[in-house]
Structure formats: structure tokens, C-alpha cells
Amino acid sequence: MTDVARVRREPPRFRRARVVTVEDVTPHLRRVRLAGDELRGMEPGLPGASVRLLVPDGPDTPVTLPEWSGNDFRAADGAKAPIRTLTPVDPDPVAGHLTLDVVRHDAGLLTPWADATGPGSEVAVSGTGRGYTVDPEAEAHLLAGDETALPALRQVLAATPDDVPVRLLAEVRSPEARVAFPDRPGLEIHW
């Protein structure tokens, strides 16, 4: 028997952008707003859809786009490209804006980037990926996630009909990590 490499469908192309602003939303959550002409027309996808962020080596390092290998993205030297998946906050394909909420951890690839990046830094994103179809006939919805899922929870919540009860369970590491959700009838939030 021979091993057959699985070939996956190629994801959307990478689009270059620049960091416009960086702000701390909570002690552990940094919001990075991107803008660029190549972000125009990038479909926001279904609620909770994700983008792939090509994590630059540093804030002043030019971005070199990776190549699709049939299974993943690879850098020119053959190494797996440094990519992380995030759900954007309020994507605007008309204006060419995309905002990412990065949860800062003690370790990992995204935290050093989020700590060092600033206005003018170059990035690249590919997207969008999978999202969620909200059943308009459901009698109630249960949404659950941790700090990294807060943007997806917000988008899915916004897509649920206003007259349907929603229980939202959000796991955060401390009370300071809580974020505001839009007030609406029938929303019950448990932190």
C-alpha cells in the first residue's frame, strides 16, 4: 500500500494590508485594525467566519507571501508558513478595513507580534473561511466559547433573530477580560 498525500482545496489568496491602529481592549485582548486596497471586496462570509493571518517576523519586516503546497502554505525555504486563524471584528469589504482581536498569551506566535506591531506594519490575510449558518427556525440558541471566540460569538449573536432567546457562555481568565455585548431582549450572558 502506498501513502497518498491528501490534497485540499486551495484557500483564498493572501491580501496585503497595513496596520492602522492598535489598542488594548482588555489586559489580555489587543485590537489591531488593518486597512488596504487589497482588502476591498473580501467577502465577510457567514457569521463567525475566519481569516488566516500570515504572522510577520517583526513589525518592520516586509511580508513575503507563501505558496500553496496542495495541503498547506509554505515559505520559499519550504518551511510551513507562520499562520494563525482569527475571526475578524466588523469586517468592511467596501472600505477595505479588517479588525482583528488578538488574545495575548504567555507564549505563542501571535502574542509577540501583537505586542510589537504598530501603525504602518505590513501584514497579509487570506479569507474568509468557514462560518456558521444560524437556523432562523430555532426556538433558542446556545453560544459558547473562550476569549478567542468573542468576535465569533458577537457575529453569531447579531445573526440570530431578535425575538429568539440566546444563552451565551463565555470563558475568560479574569473579570477584567470581559467585553460588552450588544443589549437585546432574551439575551442571557454567563461569564
pLDDT in tens, 19-64: 999 999 999 999 999 999 999 999 999 999 999 999 988 777 888 8
How far is residue 82's CA from residue 80's CA, in Å, rounded to a whole number?
6
Residues 6+ apart with CB under 8 A from 55: 82, 83, 84, 109, 110, 113
Q: Residue for cell digits 467566519? A: 49
Between 108 and 83, name the one with better pLDDT.
83
- Output the pTM of the full model: 0.89
Summary mean pLDDT of the chain? 91
Burial 155-183 (b: 16+ CB within 10 A, else e): bbbebbeeebebebebebeeeebebebee
The H or E element containing residue 110 is: helix 110-116
pLDDT band at 160 (very low <50, low <70, confident <90, very high): very high
pLDDT band at 1 (very low <50, low <70, confident <90, very high): low
pLDDT given at position 82: 92
pLDDT given at position 163: 92
Residues 6+ apart with CB under 8 A from 119: 18, 19, 20, 21, 22
Identity of the residue numbered 190? H
Question: Does residue 185 surpass a pLDDT of 60?
Answer: yes
pLDDT band at 10 (very low <50, low <70, confident <90, very high): confident
* 88, 153, 57, 83 alpha-carbon torsion, rounded to 10°: -90
